């Protein structure tokens, strides 16, 4: 499964053959099929497992101000992503092709909705004049930074995060 994730992330789902996965994992084709009934199922399990991280980024430690919670969410998101880069690479590569991801469409939508709600609520509490749109924008910013970080070598992730947090704080203070 880890091997599969690695190959899917590097080469893309369609360009990776089951045979390649089995070979790299050091097991036989047949054994792979004992574990996963099909290539799509394998993908699905990878996706399901990978997305469990997301829930973690929602956890709210006690005693945080709205802004602090937003900061916490952002930092957590990127920390988890750093630990699982290949998964996120795969996820982003599948995102545009509705068909492959369709199996998880509902979950993805639910999670997106949850993220937006979380963001907008905290933005509202933190004083945003237009929390809904601000949340949408914030989500997009996080996503955009994430994607650039995953694609580009030597991306100055930490600095970008810090810079963004400063902007955010200023924005909310206005």
Positions that interact with a copy of itself (CB under 8 A): 9-12, 14-15, 89-90, 92-93, 95-100, 130, 133-134, 136-137, 139-145, 147-148, 150-151, 155-156, 159-160, 163-164, 167, 170-171, 174
Least spacing, CB of residue 104 vs DNA, in Å: 18
Number of residues that bind DNA (CB under 7 A): 16
Q: Does 136 bind DNA (CB under 7 A)?
A: no
Choice between 34 and 170, CB closer to DNA: 34
Q: Does 33 bind DNA (CB under 7 A)?
A: yes
The torsion angles phi and psi of 132, rounded to 5 degrees, stand at -65, -55
């Amino acid at each position: 499964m880890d091997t599969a994730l690695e190959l899917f992330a590097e080469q893309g789902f369609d360009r990776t053959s089951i045979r390649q996965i089995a070979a790299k994992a050091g097991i036989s084709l047949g054994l792979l099929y004992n574990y996963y009934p099909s290539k799509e199922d394998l993908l699905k399990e990878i996706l399901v497992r990978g997305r469990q991280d997301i829930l973690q980024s929602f956890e709210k430690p006690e005693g945080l101000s709205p802004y602090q919670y937003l900061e916490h969410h952002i930092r957590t998101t990127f920390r988890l992503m750093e630990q699982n880069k290949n998964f996120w690479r795969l996820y982003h590569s599948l995102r545009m092709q509705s068909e492959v991801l369709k199996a998880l469409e509902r979950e993805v939508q639910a999670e997106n909705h949850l993220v937006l709600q979380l963001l907008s609520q905290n933005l509202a509490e933190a004083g945003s004049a237009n929390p809904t749109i601000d949340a949408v924008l914030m989500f997009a910013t996080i996503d955009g930074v994430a994607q650039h970080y995953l694609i580009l070598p030597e991306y100055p992730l930490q600095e970008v995060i810090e810079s963004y947090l400063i902007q955010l704080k200023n924005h909310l203070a206005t």
